[in-house]
Chain A
């Protein structure tokens, strides 16, 4: 039951894109077409599952002081692996994703989940969290891409929709259209999940991924905050 809850968390309640507002850059860039969105979503999901599992496996070995460089090395390793496999076996998709495939390394969803979840939970739960978050990311991308491609380009997954050809809204395929659809989607999800989305306190000092580290160093959250100021 707990596992299902972890999985479902990433889909709606803590959707990385529409609720946590992470990974905005690839979301806006890759939601122009449905095929791109699915490819990007699946690539990020594969990296999320693997990096979450490995980071969880190593959580007791990695010292706190070098945890971020270790996470980055692991994540970059998996992204490069996915890149090599994609270039070899799915070259068209590889060309389509372009620079955004390599940019998965710095996708905040992946580093964020490593810090917030994988380093506190066991391997299986972390992998499920990666799967849930990855699917949440893919679904958000897919929903945005559907709106943008259908209304902006009168097509779906590259297939032309005849009766919409005269009613295209080209701005939706341009960057401003991306922001517009993104904003509307966030508003819709906020409306639908009213009272169910993470409470604001999750984002305060206690909700900070470094809170545990501050406590270990003997600092209170408030003291660390003052230090930063």
Chain B
């Protein structure tokens, strides 16, 4: 009986602690979430300017049916270019990998930037993304992965493929 009481007490204490911690985090999230969202939106805006520097007009495009789930937004820039915002993850990633890809009307990658990734400090900020400039849906997979960050670069490559697929679908093509 004493043992059972101890077990019940343990469960109650652990549950109460979990509930209090959750409540504390919920309150913090209530105050910080809008600030974090604004900062993320600004980051995406900056990334659009990075992939397509000469941007004079931008409008939202509807994500086409059948587009990969990693595609979060598609923008039509200067009426002829596409900027695809993706959120993907690598096998080991503790958080999302945010990527923005600029695609030309003829389906070529014109710019790539990594907006967030916590697994490696340097990956994506080096010259690796430039390897994809000029690639198309047919040949993007030929770009090698990066030694030392194999899973990250595989996820990165997949994101490029997803962006090209989404643009092709948006233009009414068949992704296959």
A69 at the interface (CB under 8 A from B): yes
Knowing A66-B14, A73-B14, A95-B116, the reply to whether A84 touches B32 (Cβ < 8 A) is yes
**Residues in chain A near residue B39, CB distance under 8 A:** 87-88, 91
B13–A73 CB distance below 8 A: no
A73–B18 CB distance below 8 A: yes
Query: In the complex, what distance in Å separates the CA atom of A84 from the CA atom of B31?
Result: 10
A42 at the interface (CB under 8 A from B): no
**Residues in chain A near residue B35, CB distance under 8 A:** 88-89
Interface size class of B (residues with CB under 8 A): 20 to 34
Query: In the complex, what distance in Å separates the CA atom of A70 from the CA atom of B36?
Result: 29
B17–A74 CB distance below 8 A: yes
User: Which residues of B (1-52) have their CB < 8 Å from a CB of A?
Assistant: 6-7, 9-11, 13-14, 17-18, 21, 24-25, 28-29, 31-32, 35-36, 39
CB-defined A-B contacts under 8 Å, sample of 22: A62-B17, A63-B10, A65-B10, A66-B11, A66-B13, A66-B14, A77-B24, A81-B24, A84-B28, A84-B29, A84-B32, A84-B36, A87-B39, A88-B31, A88-B36, A88-B39, A91-B39, A96-B121, A98-B119, A98-B121, A102-B94, A102-B118
B6–A63 CB distance below 8 A: yes
Interface set of A (CB-CB < 8 Å, partner B):
58, 61-63, 65-66, 69-70, 73-74, 76-77, 80-81, 84-85, 87-89, 91, 95-96, 98-99, 102
B66 at the interface (CB under 8 A from A): no
A81–B25 CB distance below 8 A: yes
B14–A99 CB distance below 8 A: no
Query: In the complex, what distance in Å separates the CA atom of A73 from the CA atom of B20?
Result: 10
- The secondary structure that dominates the A interface is helix
**Residues in chain B near residue A96, CB distance under 8 A:** 121
**Residues in chain B near residue A74, CB distance under 8 A:** 17, 21
Q: Which residue of B lies closest to A87 (CB)?
A: B36
Q: Nearest Cβ in chain A — how far from B59, in angstroms?
A: 27
B95 at the interface (CB under 8 A from A): yes
Interface set of B (CB-CB < 8 Å, partner A):
6-7, 9-11, 13-14, 17-18, 21, 24-25, 28-29, 31-32, 35-36, 39, 94-95, 116, 118-121
Of the residues A63, A80, A81, A99, contact of B94 by C-beta under 8 Å: A99
**Residues in chain B near residue A69, CB distance under 8 A:** 14
Of the residues A62, A70, A73, A99, contact of B119 by C-beta under 8 Å: A99
**Residues in chain A near residue B21, CB distance under 8 A:** 73-74, 76-77
Q: Nearest Cβ in chain A — how far from B126, in angstroms?
A: 15
**Residues in chain A near residue B118, CB distance under 8 A:** 95, 98-99, 102
**Residues in chain A near residue B14, CB distance under 8 A:** 66, 69-70, 73
Query: In the complex, what distance in Å separates the CA atom of A77 from the CA atom of B24?
Result: 8
Q: Nearest Cβ in chain B — how far from A126, in angstroms?
A: 17
Query: In the complex, what distance in Å separates the CA atom of A102 from the CA atom of B119?
Result: 11
Query: In the complex, what distance in Å separates the CA atom of A91 from the CA atom of B43?
Result: 11
**Residues in chain B near residue A73, CB distance under 8 A:** 14, 17-18, 21
Q: Which residue of B lies closest to A82 (CB)?
A: B28
**Residues in chain A near residue B24, CB distance under 8 A:** 77, 81
Q: Which residue of B lies closest to A101 (CB)?
A: B118
A sample of 8 more A-B contacts (CB under 8 A), given A65-B10, A102-B95, is A63-B6, A66-B13, A74-B21, A76-B21, A84-B28, A96-B121, A98-B118, A98-B121
